[in-house]
């Protein structure tokens, strides 16, 4: 069975972009892959954050993952910092990653822009992400389009390691969806929807109250003109609404375009708002029930970390051996 690995940061409430770009594919893939999914808390500490909230956010993130349909009986769910092999492998991979490669990463450029104190962790983030993937010999990595460049780097690191030290790592393939791979901010459709955006006006959180969800979607910034057409470059606002509508109603974008052909933008906004509210309702109900029993969540994470650690520590031993380090 092929293996799949992906992660999400506990940096805030999960939004529609995370769900449509990544999580719904995690759920689909848990049935046909040996699936490993983690909450990447060590990535979350590379930017300013509130230590007093991190543990609770980690639990809440896991509850949201379970609420959207991840099943611990099918997938291994764990927290990155509970499996020390990730950071151990990262150190080894530091030595096969070039400074120039990291400097070219657009996420680093975006997140460091305008900050006076940029952590070395933010710069090294893509190496830890490569370690997250390679330490499980993952075949596929379901991510949104924003992670394409990091995935390419992980592939390069694996190939370079294998060339230099022998065949140790599987070179992973990105699994980037055809629809909604980059969900845009509703208030600013030139930018991707992001947990850390300065305003939440254009971000639909999975846990947002229904009235807020409806208001955010109905107030979405749309493009000039009146024609309903899918064209992300020329019509980013309308194309974004079409993608969201298609995803939450489980249809193709073409079907949605056909439904709204000849109608005004207002119609599409109202229908998308209603469909999204209906889609989120059962997820929110499941989340509330899961959060009533945080002990059950920590138990799932403890089982997941044990299984993940077993796999991951074997790979670290293989990598160290290939690199010529003295066995302990």
Binding positions for ligand AQP, rule: CB under 6 A: 8-9, 11, 17-18, 20-22, 143-144, 146-147, 181-183, 192-196
- Single out the catalytic residue among 53, 74, 109, 111: 111
Shortest reach from residue 48's CB to ligand AQP, in Å: 11
- Single out the catalytic residue among 195, 216, 235, 269: 195
Contact 222, 265 (CB under 8 A): yes
Shortest reach from residue 328's CB to ligand AQP, in Å: 33
Tokens of 175: 């699994």
Q: Tell me how far apart the alpha carbons of residues 75 and 209 are, in angstroms, rounded to a whole number.
A: 29
CA 284 from chain centre, in angstroms, equals 19
Instruction: Give whichever of 43 and 82 is closer to ligand AQP, judged by the CB atom.
Output: 43
Shortest reach from residue 130's CB to ligand AQP, in Å: 14
Nearest-CB residue to ligand AQP? Answer: 21
Instruction: Give whichever of 82 and 182 is closer to ligand AQP, judged by the CB atom.
Output: 182
Query: Would you call 192 a catalytic residue per the annotation?
Result: yes
Contact 45, 121 (CB under 8 A): yes
Owner of token pair 């980059």:
182
Shortest reach from residue 196's CB to ligand AQP, in Å: 3
Instruction: Give whichever of 11 and 272 is closer to ligand AQP, judged by the CB atom.
Output: 11
Query: Would you call 111 a catalytic residue per the annotation?
Result: yes
Task: Report H helices in 72-173.
Answer: 85-94, 99-103, 106-112, 120-134, 148-165
Q: Across the strands, what pairs with 37?
A: 6, 77
Instruction: Give whichever of 195 and 216 is closer to ligand AQP, judged by the CB atom.
Output: 195
CA 85 from chain centre, in angstroms, equals 21
Contact 199, 15 (CB under 8 A): no
Query: Would you call 195 a catalytic residue per the annotation?
Result: yes
- Tell me the catalytic residues: 111, 192, 195
């Amino acid at each position: 069975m092929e293996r799949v690995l992906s992660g999400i940061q506990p940096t805030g409430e999960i939004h529609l972009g995370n769900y449509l770009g990544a999580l719904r594919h995690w759920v689909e893939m848990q049935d046909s892959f040996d699936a490993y999914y983690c909450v990447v808390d060590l990535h979350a500490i590379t930017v300013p954050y509130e230590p007093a909230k991190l543990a609770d956010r980690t639990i809440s993130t896991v509850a949201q993952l379970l609420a959207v349909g991840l099943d611990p009986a099918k997938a291994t769910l764990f927290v990155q910092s509970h499996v020390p092999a990730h950071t151990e492998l990262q150190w080894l991979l530091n030595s096969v990653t070039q400074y120039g490669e990291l400097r070219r990463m657009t996420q680093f450029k975006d997140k460091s822009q305008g900050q006076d104190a940029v952590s070395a962790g933010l710069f090294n983030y893509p190496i830890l992400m490569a370690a997250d993937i390679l330490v499980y010999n993952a075949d596929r990595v379901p991510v949104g389009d924003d992670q394409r460049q990091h995935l390419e780097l992980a592939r390069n690191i694996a190939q370079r390691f294998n060339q230099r030290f022998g065949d140790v790592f599987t070179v992973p393939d990105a699994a980037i969806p055809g629809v909604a791979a980059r969900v845009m901010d509703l208030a600013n459709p030139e930018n991707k929807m992001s947990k850390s955006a300065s305003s939440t006006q254009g971000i639909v959180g999975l846990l947002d109250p229904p009235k807020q969800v409806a208001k955010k979607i109905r107030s979405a910034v749309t493009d000039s003109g009146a024609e309903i057409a899918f064209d992300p470059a020329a019509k980013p606002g309308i194309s974004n609404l079409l993608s969201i509508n298609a995803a939450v109603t489980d249809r193709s974008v073409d079907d949605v375009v056909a439904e709204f052909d000849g109608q005004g933008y207002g119609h599409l906004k109202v229908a998308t708002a209603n469909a999204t509210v209906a889609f989120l309702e059962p997820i929110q109900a499941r989340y509330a029930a899961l959060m009533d029993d945080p002990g059950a969540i920590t138990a799932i994470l403890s089982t997941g970390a044990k299984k993940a650690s077993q796999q991951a520590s074997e790979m670290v031993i293989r990598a160290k051996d290939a690199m010529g380090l003295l066995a302990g």
